[in-house]
């Protein structure tokens, strides 16, 4: 029996997986493989929190495949070399994968296609990780969109995404399985120290966990999404982002679940957020260096400050601004942070501290379980003002007013910054104004004064404009 290889990447699921269904339809034995590739130039290696997630996601995928009479082969090394060897070993006639969109991976996939075609191995790639391919959406003049609203309007004019594919019920196995690494040998989990307790307590990586989260969201949370999505103290959003980042669930499945309720203002709003993910991928596809370079080149001359111990204070949640510190501690503990708070902490880093957005992007990359090159770079550049359709630089979030507006009862701050728990609502977001401020050895004094920091940021921005 000849063999088809299915190369799993950012699609660690059996449902709605067109590469897998194609392999099954070929009538060949199917060899599913995942390659840990931290060597190929231009492909960003996963950060620490993502490695933790990846371990459990691979474990879960392997268990699901075993339920179908198959298994997941694990190999490590540069994907081109590893896959060429594997195809040779198995005598594979075909290899299938679902597309990814960052520049380094696309370059590598292009080289692989060429190599396999020269060897007479069929190669086919599929749309599974986006609703709309980047080349399916363009302005009337054929250029990529730079502004979200017309981009999403154009997407909505296209035929709706296809119905998700069912998971296979069985997968034909090869006569002999090629050897693979034991997952433990990859040492993806932290050991000394084991800092992942909060991650374990918060998440269930894997396709089943993703499906449960989606149905819980659609049943319990979606109806109130428009109101609750901006309140970090409540579970008002789907928290699907890490599942999406690893492809444990696909965007078509999310689309279908949100739409089964019929189009409503709530599902439209929710899908437009999924649309921001599409927009981010579109930007990354057309700007391969989005995570390294300012989308707007005039920002190249911006006088960022040298990162000093204020960067450390920001990372550790000790800036003296309760909402910023709560967000950074939520991130450190759970590997996730609420979107509203991501915007607040990113504004604080780039404007109050005047630190280059790339330092923040890197920290998020390492600590987020949903770290995603497209969404992260787009989010950071949006807040910094250097990105496509970005918030104007002069829009500086005031961490006190943002806290009072979006965490009016202080519940979010009290949860993540327990040393402030006894402060009344009136001063929970400005502890320095409390009748008895907390002692500095319990909660730090402000590392900058927001009004002065804002003036400094605006002056830097004005100078940039003058010199442009």
Ligand X SMILES: Cc1cc2nc3c(=O)[nH]c(=O)nc-3n(C[C@H](O)[C@H](O)[C@H](O)COP(=O)(O)OP(=O)(O)OC[C@H]3O[C@@H](n4cnc5c(N)ncnc54)[C@H](O)[C@@H]3O)c2cc1C
Give the catalytic positions in this structure: 273, 276, 304, 339, 357, 380
Minimum CB separation from ligand X for residue 401, in Å? 18
- Residue 349 CA, chain-centre distance (Å), reads 20
Residue number of the CB atom closest to ligand X: 379
CB under 8 Å to 371, separation ≥6 — which residues? 46, 47, 49, 50, 245, 364, 365
Minimum CB separation from ligand X for residue 402, in Å? 13
CB atoms within 10 A of CB 169: 10
What gap in Å lies between CA 416 and CA 67, rounded to an integer?
40
Q: Which two tokens stand for residue 448?
A: 């900058």
Q: Which residues pair with 467 in a beta bridge?
A: none
Minimum CB separation from ligand X for residue 338, in Å? 6
Cβ proximity to ligand X: between 174 and 360 the closer is: 360
DSSP symbol at 95: E
Cβ proximity to ligand X: between 228 and 434 the closer is: 228
Residues found near ligand X in the complex (CB under 6 A): 229, 237-241, 244-245, 273-274, 276-277, 280, 339, 342-343, 346, 364, 368, 370-372, 375-376, 379-380, 383
Cβ proximity to ligand X: between 310 and 376 the closer is: 376
Q: Which two tokens stand for residue 413?
A: 């701050």
Cβ proximity to ligand X: between 7 and 382 the closer is: 382
Minimum CB separation from ligand X for residue 109, in Å? 22
What gap in Å lies between CA 276 and CA 266, rounded to an integer?
16
Query: CA dihedral in degrees (84, 86, 91, 94; nearest 10)?
Result: -70
Asked if 412 and 326 touch (Cβ cutoff 8 Å), the reply is yes
Cβ proximity to ligand X: between 171 and 258 the closer is: 258
Minimum CB separation from ligand X for residue 142, in Å? 25
Pick from 333, 335, 317: nearest CA to 325:
317
CB under 8 Å to 310, separation ≥6 — which residues? 319, 353, 355, 447, 448
């Amino acid at each position: 029996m000849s063999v088809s290889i299915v190369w799993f990447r950012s699609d660690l699921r059996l449902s709605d997986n067109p590469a897998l269904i194609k392999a099954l339809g070929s009538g060949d034995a199917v060899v599913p493989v995942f390659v840990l590739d931290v060597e190929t130039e231009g492909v960003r290696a996963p950060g620490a929190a993502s490695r933790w997630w990846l371990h459990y996601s691979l474990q879960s995928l392997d268990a699901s495949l075993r339920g179908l009479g198959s298994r997941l082969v694990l190999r490590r090394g540069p994907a081109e070399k590893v896959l060429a060897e594997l195809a040779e070993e198995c005598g594979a006639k075909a290899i299938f994968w679902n597309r990814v969109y960052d520049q380094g991976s696309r370059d590598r996939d292009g080289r692989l296609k060429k190599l396999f075609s020269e060897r007479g191995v069929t190669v086919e790639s599929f749309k599974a990780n986006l609703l709309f391919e980047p080349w399916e959406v363009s302005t009337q003049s054929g250029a990529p969109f730079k502004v979200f609203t017309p981009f999403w309007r154009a997407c909505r004019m296209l035929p709706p995404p296809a119905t998700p594919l069912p998971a296979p019920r069985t997968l034909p196995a090869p006569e002999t399985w090629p050897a693979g690494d034991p997952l433990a040998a990859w040492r993806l989990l932290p050991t000394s120290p084991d800092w992942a307790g909060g991650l374990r307590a918060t998440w269930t990586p894997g396709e089943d966990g993703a499906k449960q989260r989606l149905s819980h969201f659609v049943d319990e949370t979606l109806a109130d999404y428009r109101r609750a999505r901006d309140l970090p103290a409540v579970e008002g959003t789907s928290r699907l982002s890490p599942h999406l980042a690893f492809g444990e669930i696909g965007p078509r499945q999310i689309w279908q679940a949100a739409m089964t309720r019929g189009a409503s203002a709530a599902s439209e709003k929710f899908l437009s957020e999924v649309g921001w993910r599409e927009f981010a991928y579109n930007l990354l596809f057309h700007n391969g260096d989005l995570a390294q370079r300012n989308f707007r080149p005039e920002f190249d001359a911006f006088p960022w400050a040298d990162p000093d111990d204020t960067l450390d204070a920001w990372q550790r949640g000790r800036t003296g601004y309760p909402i910023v510190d709560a967000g950074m501690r939520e991130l450190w503990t759970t590997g996730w942070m609420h979107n509203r708070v991501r915007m607040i902490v990113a504004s604080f880093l780039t404007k109050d501290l005047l630190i280059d957005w790339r330092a923040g992007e890197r920290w998020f990359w390492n600590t987020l379980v949903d770290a995603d090159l497209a969404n992260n770079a787009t989010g950071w550049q949006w807040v910094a003002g250097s990105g496509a359709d970005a918030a104007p630089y002069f829009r500086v979030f005031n961490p006190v007013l943002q806290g009072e507006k979006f965490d009016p009862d202080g519940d979010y701050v009290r949860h993540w910054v327990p040393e402030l728990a006894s402060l009344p609502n009136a001063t929970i977001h400005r502890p320095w104004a409390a009748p008895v401020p907390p002692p500095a050895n319990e909660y730090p004094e402000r590392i900058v004064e927001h009004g002065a920091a804002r003036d400094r940021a605006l002056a830097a921005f004005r100078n940039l404009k003058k010199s442009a």
